[in-house]
Chains A and B, each alone.
Chain A
Amino acid sequence: MTKELTGNEIKSTLNENYHSLIDSVEADHIVLKNKKEKLLSFFENLKNEKKFNLLSSVTSVDFLSKFVVVYHFTSIEKNESIVIKIPCGESRKEPSVISITSVWRGAELQEREIYDLMGIYFDNHPNMKRLLLWENFDGHPLRKDFVN
Protein backbone atom coordinates (compact mmCIF):
# COMPACT_ATOMS: atom_id res chain seq x y z
CA MET A 1 0.00 0.00 0.00
CA THR A 2 1.38 3.43 -0.89
CA LYS A 3 1.89 5.32 2.36
CA GLU A 4 0.39 8.81 2.24
CA LEU A 5 2.61 10.86 4.52
CA THR A 6 0.95 13.23 6.99
CA GLY A 7 2.01 16.87 7.17
CA ASN A 8 4.29 16.25 10.14
CA GLU A 9 5.90 13.24 8.48
CA ILE A 10 6.58 15.28 5.36
CA LYS A 11 8.20 17.99 7.51
CA SER A 12 10.45 15.49 9.28
CA THR A 13 11.47 14.00 5.91
CA LEU A 14 12.75 17.35 4.68
CA ASN A 15 16.21 18.74 5.37
CA GLU A 16 16.48 21.21 8.26
CA ASN A 17 17.61 24.08 6.05
CA TYR A 18 14.38 23.92 4.05
CA HIS A 19 12.16 24.28 7.14
CA SER A 20 12.18 28.04 6.69
CA LEU A 21 10.26 27.50 3.42
CA ILE A 22 7.32 25.89 5.21
CA ASP A 23 4.36 28.17 5.67
CA SER A 24 2.12 25.74 7.53
CA VAL A 25 1.84 22.01 8.25
CA GLU A 26 -1.64 20.58 7.64
CA ALA A 27 -3.11 17.13 8.31
CA ASP A 28 -2.25 15.57 4.93
CA HIS A 29 0.00 18.10 3.23
CA ILE A 30 2.40 20.99 3.75
CA VAL A 31 2.07 24.54 2.42
CA LEU A 32 5.24 26.21 1.17
CA LYS A 33 6.05 29.90 0.76
CA ASN A 34 6.33 31.04 -2.84
CA LYS A 35 10.06 31.89 -2.65
CA LYS A 36 11.23 31.23 -6.15
CA GLU A 37 15.02 31.16 -5.66
CA LYS A 38 14.93 28.60 -2.89
CA LEU A 39 12.10 26.41 -4.21
CA LEU A 40 14.07 25.02 -7.12
CA SER A 41 16.89 23.71 -4.93
CA PHE A 42 14.22 22.35 -2.56
CA PHE A 43 12.60 20.37 -5.39
CA GLU A 44 15.98 19.13 -6.63
CA ASN A 45 16.72 17.89 -3.13
CA LEU A 46 13.28 16.24 -2.93
CA LYS A 47 13.92 14.33 -6.13
CA ASN A 48 17.59 13.40 -5.83
CA GLU A 49 18.06 12.86 -2.09
CA LYS A 50 14.59 12.08 -0.82
CA LYS A 51 13.85 9.86 -3.85
CA PHE A 52 10.43 11.27 -4.71
CA ASN A 53 11.21 10.56 -8.32
CA LEU A 54 7.71 10.28 -9.83
CA LEU A 55 5.73 13.47 -10.22
CA SER A 56 2.17 12.13 -10.14
CA SER A 57 0.33 15.31 -10.87
CA VAL A 58 0.53 19.11 -10.88
CA THR A 59 -2.69 21.04 -10.75
CA SER A 60 -4.12 24.29 -9.48
CA VAL A 61 -7.19 25.57 -7.67
CA ASP A 62 -8.68 29.06 -7.77
CA PHE A 63 -10.01 30.09 -4.35
CA LEU A 64 -10.68 33.70 -5.51
CA SER A 65 -8.67 34.96 -2.51
CA LYS A 66 -5.62 33.15 -3.92
CA PHE A 67 -4.47 30.50 -6.39
CA VAL A 68 -2.98 27.27 -5.07
CA VAL A 69 -0.67 25.03 -7.09
CA VAL A 70 -0.93 21.43 -5.87
CA TYR A 71 1.85 18.86 -6.39
CA HIS A 72 1.48 15.11 -5.85
CA PHE A 73 4.79 13.24 -5.64
CA THR A 74 5.38 9.50 -5.33
CA SER A 75 8.52 7.63 -4.43
CA ILE A 76 8.72 4.41 -6.42
CA GLU A 77 11.50 3.02 -4.19
CA LYS A 78 9.91 3.82 -0.82
CA ASN A 79 6.29 3.54 -2.04
CA GLU A 80 5.31 6.77 -0.31
CA SER A 81 3.36 9.75 -1.59
CA ILE A 82 3.32 13.38 -0.48
CA VAL A 83 1.23 16.45 -1.28
CA ILE A 84 2.75 19.94 -1.44
CA LYS A 85 0.76 23.13 -1.99
CA ILE A 86 2.11 26.54 -2.98
CA PRO A 87 -0.24 29.52 -2.83
CA CYS A 88 0.35 32.38 -5.26
CA GLY A 89 -1.30 35.40 -6.86
CA GLU A 90 -3.10 36.91 -3.86
CA SER A 91 -3.64 40.11 -5.86
CA ARG A 92 -4.98 38.08 -8.86
CA LYS A 93 -2.54 39.96 -11.11
CA GLU A 94 -0.07 37.77 -12.97
CA PRO A 95 0.23 34.89 -10.50
CA SER A 96 3.46 32.97 -10.96
CA VAL A 97 5.48 30.14 -9.43
CA ILE A 98 8.78 28.56 -10.41
CA SER A 99 8.64 25.88 -13.11
CA ILE A 100 9.87 22.42 -12.08
CA THR A 101 10.18 21.17 -15.67
CA SER A 102 13.98 21.28 -15.35
CA VAL A 103 13.73 18.79 -12.45
CA TRP A 104 10.80 16.61 -13.57
CA ARG A 105 10.21 16.55 -17.32
CA GLY A 106 6.69 15.28 -16.59
CA ALA A 107 5.67 18.78 -15.50
CA GLU A 108 6.19 20.23 -18.99
CA LEU A 109 2.72 19.68 -20.45
CA GLN A 110 0.90 19.95 -17.12
CA GLU A 111 2.37 23.38 -16.41
CA ARG A 112 1.41 24.53 -19.87
CA GLU A 113 -2.12 23.27 -19.24
CA ILE A 114 -2.32 25.20 -15.96
CA TYR A 115 -1.08 28.35 -17.69
CA ASP A 116 -3.65 27.85 -20.43
CA LEU A 117 -6.69 27.16 -18.29
CA MET A 118 -5.88 28.89 -14.99
CA GLY A 119 -3.49 31.63 -16.04
CA ILE A 120 -0.68 30.87 -13.61
CA TYR A 121 2.70 31.68 -15.15
CA PHE A 122 5.60 29.28 -14.61
CA ASP A 123 8.96 31.07 -14.54
CA ASN A 124 11.81 29.45 -16.50
CA HIS A 125 9.50 27.05 -18.34
CA PRO A 126 11.16 26.20 -21.69
CA ASN A 127 8.00 26.64 -23.76
CA MET A 128 5.39 28.66 -21.84
CA LYS A 129 2.47 28.91 -24.24
CA ARG A 130 -1.11 27.70 -24.38
CA LEU A 131 -1.61 23.94 -24.65
CA LEU A 132 -5.27 23.22 -25.39
CA LEU A 133 -6.81 26.53 -26.45
CA TRP A 134 -5.72 28.69 -29.35
CA GLU A 135 -3.18 31.53 -29.13
CA ASN A 136 -5.64 34.45 -29.26
CA PHE A 137 -8.08 33.06 -26.72
CA ASP A 138 -9.14 35.71 -24.23
CA GLY A 139 -8.96 34.74 -20.56
CA HIS A 140 -8.43 31.54 -18.62
CA PRO A 141 -11.60 29.43 -18.37
CA LEU A 142 -10.96 27.55 -15.13
CA ARG A 143 -10.77 30.78 -13.13
CA LYS A 144 -13.83 31.27 -10.94
CA ASP A 145 -14.37 34.81 -12.25
CA PHE A 146 -14.17 33.79 -15.93
CA VAL A 147 -17.14 35.05 -17.90
CA ASN A 148 -17.80 33.58 -21.32
Chain B
Amino acid sequence: MSTELVTMNIGPIHPSTHGVFRMRVTFDGETIIDAEPIIGYLHRGSEKLAEERTYTQIVTLTDRMDYTASMTNNQAYILSVEKLSGIKPAERGVWLRMIAAELQRVAAHSVAIGFLINDLGAWHTPLLYLLREREKILELFEMMCGARITNSYLRPGGVFMDAPDEFWPALNRFLDEMPERLNDIENLLTDNEIIISRTQNVAVLDKDDAINASITGPMLRASGIDWDLRHRNPYDFYDKVSFRRPLGTVGDNNDRYLVRLHEIRESLKIIEQCLDLIEPGPIKPEEVPFLVRPPEGDSYVPIEAPKGELGFYLVSDGGISPFRCHVRAPSLMNLTLLRDMVIGYKIADLFVTFGSVDVNMGEVDR
Protein backbone atom coordinates (compact mmCIF):
# COMPACT_ATOMS: atom_id res chain seq x y z
CA MET B 1 0.00 0.00 0.00
CA SER B 2 1.44 3.35 -0.94
CA THR B 3 0.70 6.55 0.88
CA GLU B 4 0.97 10.24 0.10
CA LEU B 5 4.63 11.20 -0.43
CA VAL B 6 6.20 13.45 2.18
CA THR B 7 9.28 15.57 1.49
CA MET B 8 11.25 16.49 4.56
CA ASN B 9 14.37 18.48 5.36
CA ILE B 10 16.86 16.78 7.63
CA GLY B 11 19.57 19.09 8.90
CA PRO B 12 21.60 21.25 8.63
CA ILE B 13 21.33 21.37 12.42
CA HIS B 14 20.65 17.83 13.53
CA PRO B 15 22.48 15.64 16.06
CA SER B 16 22.87 12.74 13.63
CA THR B 17 24.22 14.58 10.62
CA HIS B 18 27.74 14.99 12.08
CA GLY B 19 28.02 18.67 11.31
CA VAL B 20 26.08 21.00 9.07
CA PHE B 21 24.82 18.49 6.53
CA ARG B 22 21.36 18.76 5.05
CA MET B 23 19.32 16.21 3.14
CA ARG B 24 16.04 16.71 1.34
CA VAL B 25 14.41 13.31 1.67
CA THR B 26 11.17 12.09 0.12
CA PHE B 27 9.38 9.35 2.01
CA ASP B 28 6.62 6.93 1.16
CA GLY B 29 5.54 6.13 4.70
CA GLU B 30 8.87 5.28 6.29
CA THR B 31 10.55 4.15 3.08
CA ILE B 32 13.01 6.49 1.38
CA ILE B 33 12.30 7.05 -2.29
CA ASP B 34 14.63 10.01 -2.88
CA ALA B 35 17.41 11.74 -0.97
CA GLU B 36 19.30 14.78 -2.13
CA PRO B 37 22.33 15.94 -0.15
CA ILE B 38 22.65 19.73 0.10
CA ILE B 39 26.04 20.96 1.22
CA GLY B 40 27.98 24.18 1.54
CA TYR B 41 27.06 25.33 5.04
CA LEU B 42 30.69 25.13 6.19
CA HIS B 43 32.28 26.50 3.02
CA ARG B 44 35.11 28.82 3.99
CA GLY B 45 36.84 29.16 0.65
CA SER B 46 40.03 27.47 1.81
CA GLU B 47 41.26 27.06 -1.76
CA LYS B 48 40.98 30.78 -2.40
CA LEU B 49 42.52 31.65 0.98
CA ALA B 50 45.49 29.42 0.14
CA GLU B 51 46.31 31.57 -2.88
CA GLU B 52 47.15 34.48 -0.56
CA ARG B 53 49.27 32.61 1.98
CA THR B 54 52.81 31.30 1.96
CA TYR B 55 53.41 27.57 1.63
CA THR B 56 54.08 27.19 5.37
CA GLN B 57 51.02 29.22 6.42
CA ILE B 58 48.71 26.95 4.41
CA VAL B 59 49.50 24.07 6.80
CA THR B 60 47.16 25.72 9.31
CA LEU B 61 44.37 25.82 6.70
CA THR B 62 44.70 22.09 6.06
CA ASP B 63 44.15 21.35 9.78
CA ARG B 64 40.69 22.80 9.51
CA MET B 65 39.52 20.69 6.59
CA ASP B 66 39.03 17.23 8.08
CA TYR B 67 39.29 18.28 11.70
CA THR B 68 39.22 14.71 13.00
CA ALA B 69 42.35 13.92 10.95
CA SER B 70 44.57 17.00 10.94
CA MET B 71 47.86 15.10 10.83
CA THR B 72 47.04 13.26 7.62
CA ASN B 73 45.81 16.50 6.04
CA ASN B 74 49.16 18.06 6.91
CA GLN B 75 50.91 15.03 5.47
CA ALA B 76 49.07 15.15 2.12
CA TYR B 77 49.77 18.84 1.74
CA ILE B 78 53.43 18.65 2.75
CA LEU B 79 54.11 15.71 0.41
CA SER B 80 52.72 17.73 -2.47
CA VAL B 81 54.85 20.77 -1.55
CA GLU B 82 57.95 18.57 -1.25
CA LYS B 83 57.34 17.07 -4.68
CA LEU B 84 56.73 20.48 -6.21
CA SER B 85 59.86 22.08 -4.75
CA GLY B 86 62.12 19.02 -4.75
CA ILE B 87 62.76 19.06 -0.99
CA LYS B 88 64.16 15.81 0.38
CA PRO B 89 62.79 15.30 3.90
CA ALA B 90 64.93 14.32 6.90
CA GLU B 91 64.60 10.68 7.92
CA ARG B 92 63.61 11.21 11.54
CA GLY B 93 61.06 13.79 10.47
CA VAL B 94 59.44 11.25 8.14
CA TRP B 95 59.26 8.59 10.86
CA LEU B 96 57.74 11.11 13.27
CA ARG B 97 55.07 12.10 10.80
CA MET B 98 54.29 8.46 10.03
CA ILE B 99 53.77 7.82 13.75
CA ALA B 100 51.59 10.92 13.92
CA ALA B 101 49.59 9.88 10.84
CA GLU B 102 48.92 6.37 12.14
CA LEU B 103 47.92 7.67 15.57
CA GLN B 104 45.58 10.01 13.73
CA ARG B 105 44.09 7.10 11.81
CA VAL B 106 43.37 5.31 15.09
CA ALA B 107 41.72 8.46 16.44
CA ALA B 108 39.68 9.12 13.28
CA HIS B 109 38.46 5.53 13.01
CA SER B 110 37.55 5.57 16.72
CA VAL B 111 35.41 8.63 16.10
CA ALA B 112 33.86 7.04 13.00
CA ILE B 113 32.94 3.81 14.79
CA GLY B 114 31.76 5.60 17.90
CA PHE B 115 29.37 7.89 16.08
CA LEU B 116 28.16 5.06 13.83
CA ILE B 117 27.16 3.08 16.91
CA ASN B 118 25.66 6.24 18.37
CA ASP B 119 23.49 6.63 15.27
CA LEU B 120 22.33 3.05 15.77
CA GLY B 121 20.86 4.07 19.09
CA ALA B 122 23.49 2.75 21.48
CA TRP B 123 23.28 6.04 23.26
CA HIS B 124 26.80 7.27 24.16
CA THR B 125 28.22 4.26 26.05
CA PRO B 126 30.31 2.77 23.17
CA LEU B 127 31.02 6.27 21.88
CA LEU B 128 32.52 7.36 25.18
CA TYR B 129 34.63 4.20 25.37
CA LEU B 130 36.12 5.15 22.01
CA LEU B 131 36.42 8.86 22.75
CA ARG B 132 38.33 7.95 25.91
CA GLU B 133 40.95 6.19 23.76
CA ARG B 134 40.99 9.10 21.32
CA GLU B 135 41.62 11.45 24.25
CA LYS B 136 44.87 9.59 24.97
CA ILE B 137 45.98 10.12 21.38
CA LEU B 138 45.15 13.82 21.60
CA GLU B 139 47.32 14.01 24.72
CA LEU B 140 50.15 12.38 22.78
CA PHE B 141 49.69 15.00 20.04
CA GLU B 142 49.79 17.70 22.69
CA MET B 143 53.19 16.40 23.76
CA MET B 144 54.41 16.29 20.17
CA CYS B 145 53.37 19.75 19.03
CA GLY B 146 51.40 21.55 21.73
CA ALA B 147 48.03 21.29 19.97
CA ARG B 148 45.39 18.62 20.27
CA ILE B 149 43.26 18.98 17.15
CA THR B 150 44.63 21.74 14.91
CA ASN B 151 48.13 20.33 15.02
CA SER B 152 50.04 22.07 12.18
CA TYR B 153 52.85 19.68 13.09
CA LEU B 154 54.39 19.09 9.68
CA ARG B 155 56.64 21.39 7.71
CA PRO B 156 58.24 21.04 4.28
CA GLY B 157 61.17 18.69 4.97
CA GLY B 158 59.86 17.04 8.12
CA VAL B 159 58.23 18.29 11.31
CA PHE B 160 58.73 21.48 13.30
CA MET B 161 59.87 19.96 16.59
CA ASP B 162 61.06 16.62 17.89
CA ALA B 163 58.87 14.65 20.26
CA PRO B 164 59.97 15.22 23.88
CA ASP B 165 61.50 12.47 26.03
CA GLU B 166 58.30 11.84 27.97
CA PHE B 167 56.43 11.16 24.70
CA TRP B 168 58.02 7.77 24.08
CA PRO B 169 57.06 6.02 27.37
CA ALA B 170 53.55 7.50 27.01
CA LEU B 171 53.26 6.15 23.46
CA ASN B 172 54.49 2.72 24.57
CA ARG B 173 51.94 2.66 27.36
CA PHE B 174 49.20 3.53 24.86
CA LEU B 175 50.34 0.78 22.48
CA ASP B 176 50.31 -1.74 25.37
CA GLU B 177 46.82 -0.81 26.52
CA MET B 178 45.01 -0.18 23.26
CA PRO B 179 44.69 -3.81 21.99
CA GLU B 180 43.01 -4.71 25.28
CA ARG B 181 40.58 -1.77 24.90
CA LEU B 182 39.87 -2.84 21.32
CA ASN B 183 39.02 -6.34 22.57
CA ASP B 184 36.53 -4.75 24.97
CA ILE B 185 34.94 -2.79 22.15
CA GLU B 186 34.83 -5.82 19.91
CA ASN B 187 33.24 -7.96 22.62
CA LEU B 188 30.70 -5.25 23.21
CA LEU B 189 29.80 -4.52 19.60
CA THR B 190 30.86 -6.95 16.89
CA ASP B 191 28.61 -9.89 17.82
CA ASN B 192 25.85 -7.75 19.22
CA GLU B 193 22.58 -9.01 17.82
CA ILE B 194 21.02 -5.57 17.42
CA ILE B 195 24.01 -4.21 15.57
CA ILE B 196 24.13 -7.23 13.25
CA SER B 197 20.44 -7.07 12.42
CA ARG B 198 20.59 -3.32 11.83
CA THR B 199 23.75 -3.23 9.71
CA GLN B 200 24.09 -6.51 7.82
CA ASN B 201 22.92 -6.31 4.19
CA VAL B 202 21.89 -2.69 4.64
CA ALA B 203 23.03 -0.19 1.98
CA VAL B 204 25.14 -2.67 0.02
CA LEU B 205 27.69 -0.98 -2.22
CA ASP B 206 28.77 -2.97 -5.27
CA LYS B 207 32.50 -2.83 -5.99
CA ASP B 208 32.19 -1.70 -9.60
CA ASP B 209 29.80 1.08 -8.60
CA ALA B 210 32.21 2.10 -5.86
CA ILE B 211 35.20 2.44 -8.20
CA ASN B 212 33.09 4.20 -10.81
CA ALA B 213 32.00 6.80 -8.25
CA SER B 214 35.62 7.48 -7.16
CA ILE B 215 34.93 6.05 -3.73
CA THR B 216 38.16 5.26 -1.89
CA GLY B 217 39.46 4.36 1.54
CA PRO B 218 37.77 2.01 4.02
CA MET B 219 34.52 2.27 2.04
CA LEU B 220 36.13 0.83 -1.10
CA ARG B 221 37.93 -1.86 0.87
CA ALA B 222 34.67 -2.81 2.58
CA SER B 223 33.32 -3.53 -0.91
CA GLY B 224 36.19 -5.96 -1.47
CA ILE B 225 38.74 -3.99 -3.51
CA ASP B 226 42.30 -4.23 -2.25
CA TRP B 227 43.25 -0.60 -2.88
CA ASP B 228 45.28 1.05 -0.14
CA LEU B 229 47.67 3.77 -1.28
CA ARG B 230 50.01 2.99 1.61
CA HIS B 231 50.49 -0.40 -0.02
CA ARG B 232 50.01 0.33 -3.73
CA ASN B 233 51.81 3.69 -3.84
CA PRO B 234 53.95 3.79 -0.68
CA TYR B 235 54.72 7.40 0.19
CA ASP B 236 57.02 8.36 3.09
CA PHE B 237 58.47 5.09 4.51
CA TYR B 238 55.40 2.89 4.15
CA ASP B 239 57.45 0.52 1.97
CA LYS B 240 59.59 -0.28 5.02
CA VAL B 241 56.74 -1.45 7.24
CA SER B 242 54.37 -4.36 6.73
CA PHE B 243 50.67 -4.46 7.50
CA ARG B 244 47.57 -6.35 6.45
CA ARG B 245 44.72 -4.71 4.58
CA PRO B 246 41.35 -5.85 5.94
CA LEU B 247 38.76 -6.33 3.22
CA GLY B 248 34.99 -6.64 3.33
CA THR B 249 33.03 -9.23 1.38
CA VAL B 250 29.54 -7.77 1.03
CA GLY B 251 30.02 -4.01 1.16
CA ASP B 252 27.24 -3.35 3.65
CA ASN B 253 27.26 -1.14 6.72
CA ASN B 254 28.59 -3.96 8.88
CA ASP B 255 31.60 -4.46 6.59
CA ARG B 256 32.41 -0.77 6.70
CA TYR B 257 32.37 -0.94 10.51
CA LEU B 258 34.54 -4.08 10.62
CA VAL B 259 37.12 -2.79 8.13
CA ARG B 260 37.67 0.32 10.27
CA LEU B 261 37.94 -1.71 13.46
CA HIS B 262 40.59 -4.00 11.97
CA GLU B 263 42.47 -1.09 10.44
CA ILE B 264 42.98 0.32 13.94
CA ARG B 265 44.87 -2.84 14.90
CA GLU B 266 47.00 -2.63 11.75
CA SER B 267 47.83 1.00 12.49
CA LEU B 268 49.04 0.05 15.95
CA LYS B 269 51.34 -2.54 14.33
CA ILE B 270 52.71 0.08 11.96
CA ILE B 271 53.50 2.41 14.89
CA GLU B 272 55.35 -0.42 16.65
CA GLN B 273 57.47 -1.01 13.55
CA CYS B 274 58.17 2.72 13.28
CA LEU B 275 59.40 2.71 16.89
CA ASP B 276 61.90 -0.04 16.00
CA LEU B 277 63.17 1.78 12.92
CA ILE B 278 63.31 5.43 14.07
CA GLU B 279 66.81 6.72 14.84
CA PRO B 280 68.17 9.95 16.31
CA GLY B 281 68.97 12.65 13.81
CA PRO B 282 67.75 15.96 12.42
CA ILE B 283 63.97 16.36 12.10
CA LYS B 284 64.20 18.76 9.16
CA PRO B 285 67.02 19.50 6.70
CA GLU B 286 68.96 22.68 7.51
CA GLU B 287 68.78 23.97 3.94
CA VAL B 288 64.97 24.23 3.72
CA PRO B 289 64.29 27.99 3.61
CA PHE B 290 61.58 29.65 5.68
CA LEU B 291 59.89 30.88 2.50
CA VAL B 292 59.59 27.97 0.10
CA ARG B 293 59.65 29.09 -3.56
CA PRO B 294 58.94 26.08 -5.77
CA PRO B 295 59.75 26.36 -9.48
CA GLU B 296 56.91 26.71 -11.99
CA GLY B 297 54.90 23.54 -12.36
CA ASP B 298 52.22 21.45 -10.68
CA SER B 299 52.07 18.43 -8.40
CA TYR B 300 49.50 16.01 -7.04
CA VAL B 301 50.42 13.39 -4.42
CA PRO B 302 47.53 11.20 -3.26
CA ILE B 303 47.78 9.65 0.21
CA GLU B 304 45.63 7.23 2.16
CA ALA B 305 43.85 9.47 4.68
CA PRO B 306 41.47 7.82 7.19
CA LYS B 307 38.54 8.62 4.88
CA GLY B 308 40.14 7.77 1.54
CA GLU B 309 42.39 9.21 -1.13
CA LEU B 310 43.39 12.73 -0.11
CA GLY B 311 45.55 14.83 -2.40
CA PHE B 312 46.48 18.44 -2.91
CA TYR B 313 46.81 19.66 -6.48
CA LEU B 314 49.23 22.59 -6.31
CA VAL B 315 50.18 24.90 -9.16
CA SER B 316 53.19 27.16 -8.69
CA ASP B 317 54.12 30.23 -10.69
CA GLY B 318 57.46 30.54 -8.90
CA GLY B 319 56.15 32.81 -6.14
CA ILE B 320 55.93 32.36 -2.38
CA SER B 321 52.28 31.26 -2.44
CA PRO B 322 50.60 28.71 -4.72
CA PHE B 323 48.90 29.94 -7.88
CA ARG B 324 46.19 27.33 -7.33
CA CYS B 325 45.58 24.89 -4.50
CA HIS B 326 42.89 22.26 -5.02
CA VAL B 327 41.92 19.65 -2.44
CA ARG B 328 40.71 16.26 -3.61
CA ALA B 329 38.50 15.60 -0.60
CA PRO B 330 37.58 11.93 -0.02
CA SER B 331 34.51 12.86 2.04
CA LEU B 332 32.94 14.71 -0.89
CA MET B 333 33.47 11.84 -3.34
CA ASN B 334 32.25 9.25 -0.86
CA LEU B 335 28.95 11.14 -0.68
CA THR B 336 28.32 10.68 -4.42
CA LEU B 337 26.44 7.41 -4.04
CA LEU B 338 24.66 8.14 -0.75
CA ARG B 339 21.37 8.65 -2.58
CA ASP B 340 21.64 5.35 -4.46
CA MET B 341 22.62 3.50 -1.29
CA VAL B 342 19.69 4.57 0.87
CA ILE B 343 16.79 4.42 -1.61
CA GLY B 344 14.38 1.68 -0.60
CA TYR B 345 15.52 1.56 3.02
CA LYS B 346 13.81 3.01 6.08
CA ILE B 347 14.44 6.41 7.62
CA ALA B 348 16.36 4.83 10.52
CA ASP B 349 18.81 3.25 8.06
CA LEU B 350 19.55 6.61 6.50
CA PHE B 351 21.51 7.81 9.52
CA VAL B 352 23.31 4.50 9.96
CA THR B 353 24.39 4.58 6.31
CA PHE B 354 25.46 8.19 6.59
CA GLY B 355 27.47 7.27 9.68
CA SER B 356 29.12 4.32 7.94
CA VAL B 357 30.14 6.49 4.98
CA ASP B 358 32.01 8.60 7.56
CA VAL B 359 32.12 12.07 6.08
CA ASN B 360 33.47 15.15 7.74
CA MET B 361 31.71 18.36 6.78
CA GLY B 362 34.86 20.44 7.21
CA GLU B 363 36.34 18.45 4.36
CA VAL B 364 33.21 18.24 2.20
CA ASP B 365 32.72 22.01 2.14
CA ARG B 366 36.28 23.21 2.69
Footprint of B on A, CB under 8 Å?
A: 1-2, 53-57, 59, 61-62, 70, 72, 74, 76, 79, 83, 104-110, 113, 117, 131-134, 141-142
- Verify A1–B234 contact, CB threshold 8 A: yes
Q: Considering the chains assembled together, what is the distance between the CA atoms of A72 and B39 in angstroms?
A: 24
Residues on B facing A (Cβ under 8 Å): 39-40, 43, 45, 47-48, 209, 211-216, 225, 227, 229, 232-234, 239, 298, 300, 302, 309, 311, 313, 315, 323-324, 326, 328, 332-333, 335-337, 365-366
Minimal beta-carbon separation of A141 from chain B (angstroms):
6
Q: In the complex, how many residue pairs between chain A and chain B have their CB atoms under 8 Å apart? A: 88
Residues of A within 8 A of B214 (CB): 54-56, 104-107, 110
Q: Which residue of A lies closest to B45 (CB)?
A: A141
Considering the chains assembled together, what is the distance between the CA atoms of A2 and B232 in angstroms? 6
Interface centre among B39, B47, B214, B309 (most CB of A within 10 A): B214
How far apart sit A107 and B214, CA to CA, in the bound complex (Å)? 8
Minimum CB–CB distance for A12 against chain B, Å: 22
Report if A56-B309 is in contact (Cβ < 8 Å); known contacts: A104-B214, A105-B212.
yes
User: Do A57 and B335 form a contact, CB below 8 Å, given A1-B234, A76-B211, A141-B45?
Assistant: no
Query: Which residues of A lie under 8 Å from residue B309 when comparing CB positions?
Result: 56
Q: Which residues of A contact B324 (CB under 8 A)?
A: 61-62, 142
A136 to chain B, nearest CB (A): 13
How far apart are the CA atoms of A108 and B366 in the complex, in Å?
17
> Which residues of A are found within 8 Å of B328, using beta-carbon distances?
56-57, 59, 72
Q: Assess whether A105 is in contact with B336, with CB atoms less than 8 Å apart.
A: yes
Tell me the smallest distance from the CB of A123 to a CB of chain B, in Å.
Answer: 20
Q: Do residues B212 and A53 form an inter-chain contact, with CB atoms below 8 A?
A: yes
Question: A56-B302, A131-B40, A132-B39 given as contacts; is B313 within 8 A of A106 (CB)?
Answer: no
Min C-beta distance of B117 to chain A, whole Å:
28
Question: In the assembly, what is the distance between CA of A98 and CA of B108, in Å?
Answer: 37
For residue B274, give the distance in angstroms from its CB to the closest CB of chain A.
Answer: 20
